[in-house]
Amino acid sequence: MIELEGLSKRFGAKVAVDRLSFQVRPGVVTGFLGPNGAGKSTTMRMMLDLDNPTSGSVRIDGRHYRELAEPLKYIGALLDAKAMHGGRSAYNNLLCLAQANRIPASRVSEVLDIVGLTAVARKKSKGFSLGMGQRLGIASALLGDPEILMFDEPVNGLDPEGIHWIRNLMKQLAAEGRTIFVSSHLMSEMALTADHLIVIGQGRLLADTTMAAFIQENSRSYARVRSPQPERLRDLLHTAGFTPVEVAGGALEVDGASTERLGELAAEHGVVLHELSAQRASLEEAFMQMTAGSVEYHAHGTSDPGRSAPPGPRWGEGPPADTGPRWGAGGGSGTEGI
């Protein structure tokens, strides 16, 4: 368990982290989301005692990082995969870390095996590809067999096989009862990996909730229906009080309608359907909905981020700091889940 209480960090006039309080619990993968400059890395660095908080505290299983006699046995982290000594072999990089932390040398071979680097264990790490470097960084995080693991952008630059591997590893570690905290800009990836979400913007906490609740509370749900008799279907829906919106491919999207209701309505009136499906909003849509309150935001994309019209700003393409979206300004749409 990691506990933050009123954690703040100021760099001169810049408040990078602003009174953050939350807990990261064991047994689930907790995703850490926020746009560039939101304060994720600074928060993670303070969790590992690599930066001093201006105020507030972080506790690892109830204790401050500095109170942990052998920290690698409590908490392992992948912050910067390039932090390894390039002139040393993968094995020797890990062996040095193991010796400094009174971890048996046999554990080095074990973690190299877990991350699939046994065959290149004696090769100098400076010749490693990005994916191999990430695996070596993860091996170092696993070295002390810690109950808490933190990964900062673990899938950056990885190929699909590498991404798949890291995703499954994190899920497996959480299933073993460990505390897993992971940041990523890739929302589609986060949606597949995390069970719980901590969302920050401009250093402040915006959401601390389950993945399912975050998506449900910040996006609409709707049904998609398509018929070879589109005019009849549209008239029927209007008569029944719905407001269908035509989308690409001639399908209609209907807010606030269950598939059961639409199916029965079509059957009652003999309208043939070729498609009828409940649509689940994506994490990305939910996130856009949450930030939809800003004028600058609309200038880039659509005024209705739920529709599949031109995409809004992507993560990492944030507007200038002084005109950025008002994080936390957007409310949930309160739409019903499907």
Ligand X SMILES: Nc1ncnc2c1ncn2[C@@H]1O[C@H](COP(=O)(O)OP(=O)(O)OP(=O)(O)O)[C@@H](O)[C@H]1O
d(CA 43, CA 58) in angstroms, rounded, equals 10
Per CB under 6 A, the list member of 2, 22, 40, 75 interacting with ligand X is 40
Distance (Å, rounded) from C-alpha 314 to C-alpha 164? 22
Which is nearer to ligand X, 39 or 133 (by Cβ)? 39
In the complex, least distance from residue 17 CB atom to ligand X, rounded to whole angstroms? 7
In the list 37, 56, 256, 263, the residue contacting ligand X (rule: CB under 6 A) is: 37
State which of residues 24, 38, 141, 266 lies at the interface with ligand X (CB under 6 A).
38
**Residue 197 CB, nearest approach to ligand X (Å):** 15
Distance of closest approach, residue 326 Cβ to ligand X, in angstroms? 16
- Residue 251 to residue 232: CA distance in whole angstroms: 13
DSSP-assigned states of every residue in 20-88:
EEEEE-TTSEEEEE--TTSSHHHHHHHHTTSS--SEEEEEETTB-GGG-SSGGGTEEEES-GGGS-TTS
Identify residues 6-35 at the interface with ligand X (CB under 6 A). 11, 14, 16, 34
The total number of residues written for the chain in this structure: 338
C-beta of 83 vs 100, nearer to ligand X: 83
Answer whether 255's CB lies under 8 Å from 220's CB. yes
Contact 86, 117 (CB under 8 A): no
Q: Within positions 41 to 70, which residues make up the interface with ligand X, using CB under 6 A? A: 41-42
- Distance of closest approach, residue 36 Cβ to ligand X, in angstroms: 4
Rounded to a whole number of angstroms, the distance between the first and last alpha carbons of the chain is 33
Q: Which is nearer to ligand X, 14 or 122 (CB)?
A: 14
Interacting residue ranges for ligand X, rule: CB under 6 A: 11, 14, 16, 34, 36-42
